[in-house]
Amino acid sequence: MPTFTPSSHQISHFQTDGFFVVDGLLDAEEVELLGTIARADQQMQRDAASRGDGEGGAIRLTVENELHDDIYGAIVRSRRIVDCMTTLLEGEVYHYHHKMILKEPRVGGAWAWHQDYGYWYHNGCLAPLLASCMIAVDRATKQNGCLQVVRGSHLLGRMDHGKVGDQTGVADLERIEAALARLELVHCELSPGAAIFFHCNLLHRSDQNRSPDPRWAFIACYNARRNDPYIDSRHPRYTPLETWDDARVKEIGRRQAQEMSLGTRAG
């Protein structure tokens, strides 16, 4: 059973760099369950949206505001992540939404440069008191379009955003180029189960997947309770988030995988 509490160094990195990486946030069985369930999840496949990347490709993803009694909900509620987010955002947090990125071999599209707060700002979140935890379902490499971040860019403040393809990307490309000239570009290559915790103002993107390997990732997004949006939007206002013991990821994942297997056989 993985246990995780952010170290003082990791907290410092979040504050100065805008992100830090945790190897093995999910153990081998947990990430295998997540991948197996996600790829067998026909409802998720039907609900997946495709967004053009402005570079000739498209990326598929699902976005979910509600938590259910499934492996996705167990991960979002898991103590190892919720307690970490509570520390990073310095107070109670709630589930803002979660999503699965489905970057398939050779056809998976890119994400344009953006800050999450670039558009969450328009959802009524007055302050950049949000953060995300992205967990690698598959190995993430430069070749299959891993996440790229600009170290320390969260300290530049929110940039104006506009459309790039079907995505809401940073419109001020001149400002991005200036940031890249001054700050370090980091390719976040991750093993399955590894995670990156990152600030909502951190500049990030990913390239198209031109490799023969998939690059799926699960992302859980959290908002601080004290940053409760002042308007209704596509993502929820504050509701209390129940924290679950980490062991429930495997308990629920095993049950869900078995139910899916039985359902497939019955069909």
pLDDT exceeds cutoff 90 at 252: yes
Residues 227, 125: contact at Cβ < 8 Å?
Answer: yes
Cβ burial of 226 (10 Å; 0-12, 13-18, 19+) is: middle
Residues 197, 84: contact at Cβ < 8 Å?
Answer: yes
Q: Rounded to whole angstroms, what are the CA distances from 135 to 174, 182, 193, 194?
A: 31, 28, 6, 6
Residues 91, 222: contact at Cβ < 8 Å?
Answer: no
User: For position 265, what pLDDT does the model report?
Assistant: 40
- In this predicted model, what pLDDT tens digit does every residue of 86-107 receive, in sequence order? 999 999 999 999 999 999 898 8
Please compute the mean of the pLDDT values over residues 121-148 and round it to a whole number. 97
* Cβ-based neighbours of 116, under 8 Å, separated by 6 or more: 130, 132, 200, 201, 202, 221
Q: What is the pTM of this model?
A: 0.94
pLDDT exceeds cutoff 60 at 40: yes
CB burial string 126-155: b at 16+ within 10 A, e below: eebbbbbbbbbbbbbbeebbbbbbbbbbbe
* Cβ-based neighbours of 194, under 8 Å, separated by 6 or more: 21, 22, 23, 24, 25, 135, 136
Domains with residue ranges and CATH for the chain: 15-225+239-266 (2.60.120.620)
- The mean-pLDDT minimum among 51-55, 80-84, 116-120 falls in 51-55
User: For position 1, what pLDDT does the model report?
Assistant: 52
Instruction: Encode the chain in three state secondary structure.
Output: CCCCCCCHHHHHHHHHCCEEEECCCCCHHHHHHHHHHHHHCHHHHHHCEEEECCCCCEEEEEEECCCCCCHHHHHHHEHHHHHHHHHHCCCCEEEEEEEEEEECCCCECCEEEECCHHHHHHHCCCCCCEEEEEEECCCECCCCCCEEEECCHHHHCCCCEEEECCEEEECCHHHHHHHHHHCCEEEECECCCCEEEEECCCCEEECCCCCCCCEEEEEEEEEEHHHCCCCCCCCCCCCCCCCECCHHHHHHHHHHHHHHHHHHHHC
Strands 195-199 and 215-224: unpaired
- In this predicted model, what pLDDT tens digit does every residue of 7-18 receive, in sequence order? 999 999 999 999
Sheet holding 130-136, edge to edge: 19-22, 195-199, 130-136, 215-224, 93-103, 58-64, 49-52
Q: Mean pLDDT score of the chain, rounded to an integer?
A: 92
